[in-house]
Structure 1
């Protein structure tokens, strides 16, 4: 039984072994969803710290459970520019709690009321942010948002500790996925692409001018390289890590 399933008050150190065992980005997503619920929040986000010149929050989000509509409106309105949250994340490595109606949330672009209305609509007016970084020095942050009361100092400490481990584990998973994609050759990727398009081995053989045996050979090798048990799982993983579209 994992720490998130015991029903006890969550503590930071209880999760470390579980985080170390996460194998995929989807595992991280499911863990973060359960963590969000355990801390009585509504949504989470894991981001790479955007560059000053970046205008799109969605492209900097690694994994998130924010409502798609909220994200779309946030970017359409250009709310990342002049964000007091991002300004603070760039200037400090300390965790902090942000309330959209607080004095520290005031913006100098006249969009304060828009932010308040938008986040209250999705019942996410308060958010805790936990700056972190990976082994390469890539800076990022993990946040939990909702409409609960501010986190206690003990909760902030536990979530900060958890965030460090989650961000580091996620970086390891992404690096591993990149190494895997580098090992597949063009023919293996072609076969995965056509399999994703619903083609059989015989049909792929006709398209690529190969024998059906050769196509199956490529698919079997791709399946092993992706550490999956069959071609369906191989296609799913290849799509998830961006190896095929």
Structure 2
């Protein structure tokens, strides 16, 4: 479990120390699952019901689902939202396209600003999944990708102190998630399912003989898969290969 209790106290540190602490803490996350766990903990700690990480969609995009990077919002919510073409008239999405300032949202108020007549349907949908109020935080990664992290629920509007903390947290979690996705995109370049399976069991401390029995393969074949993975990850031995695979999020 990722513990934010100590890290949040660093908000009071001078900016340079806070940045250094943030970078150190972010590097402890070696898998996308670690970032998800952190987002889930932030969601709970601040009294929200769900989180959403997205890439800000262009004007030609009509699907919220296509813009989602990671979320624990119900899948049927996204399906219903897109089926009713609700994104086109969303004042929240439009604001994300033209502003980099974090802002709160209230579905009851925002739905009145829609010009497409879908306000009541939007309000009903968000109420059904307990995402009536929350905050959107514009973020970006080192490549300039514009995104947003949202936290939603039924709690009262966040106060300025909470908004500052959430903005700080969302920024580095989005950056770390982008880094991990980029690593995953590079590393698998050729790693087969069998190679990953062998690395998984190697990381668990299994010998070649034990892996052969678990995977119902010959020891020769296991060594073959491990050797290929070592070459593909540009490693010098099995230990380094396993370490690289863990950092890239290929194995747990």
TM-score (norm 1): 0.77
Matches within 5 A, 1:23-102: 23-102=30-109
Closer/same/farther in 2, CA of residues 36 and 219 from structure 1, 3 Å limit: same
Structure 1 gap ranges (5+): 203-211, 241-245
CA apart distance, 1:20:
3.0
Q: Is 1:237 the counterpart of 2:245 in the alignment?
A: no
Q: Which ranges of 4 or more aligned residues in structure 1 deviate by more than 6 Å?
A: none
Distance 1:34 1:79 in 2: 29
Q: Deviations over 1:67-93 (max 9, x none)?
A: 122122112212122211110000100
Q: Give the structure 2 partner of residue 206 of structure 1.
A: none
Q: Give the structure 2 partner of residue 163 of structure 1.
A: 170
Distance 1:5 1:227 in 2: 33
Q: Deviations over 1:82-121 (max 9, x none)?
A: 2111100001000000101115752111110011011111
Q: Give the structure 2 partner of residue 144 of structure 1.
A: 151
Matches within 5 A, 1:126-137: 126-137=133-144
TM-score (norm 2): 0.75
Q: Give the structure 1 partner of residue 29 of structure 2.
A: 22
Distance 1:228 1:154 in 2: 42
What is the Cα-based RMSD across aligned positions, in Å? Answer: 3.5
Q: Deviations over 1:7-62 (max 9, x none)?
A: x8895859824333111111100010001101110100111111211122122111
Distance 2:241 2:163 in 1: 37
Q: Give the structure 2 partner of residue 111 of structure 1.
A: 118
The number of equivalent residue pairs is 222
Q: Is 1:201 the counterpart of 2:217 in the alignment?
A: yes
Distance 1:37 1:103 in 2: 24
CA apart distance, 1:227:
5.2
Closer/same/farther in 2, CA of residues 223 and 115 from structure 1, 3 Å limit: farther
Distance 2:230 2:47 in 1: 39
Cα contact 1:48–1:60 (8 A) shared by 2: yes
Closer/same/farther in 2, CA of residues 105 and 174 from structure 1, 3 Å limit: farther
Distance 2:172 2:79 in 1: 29
Q: Give the structure 1 partner of residue 192 of structure 2.
A: 189
Cα contact 1:2–1:18 (8 A) shared by 2: no
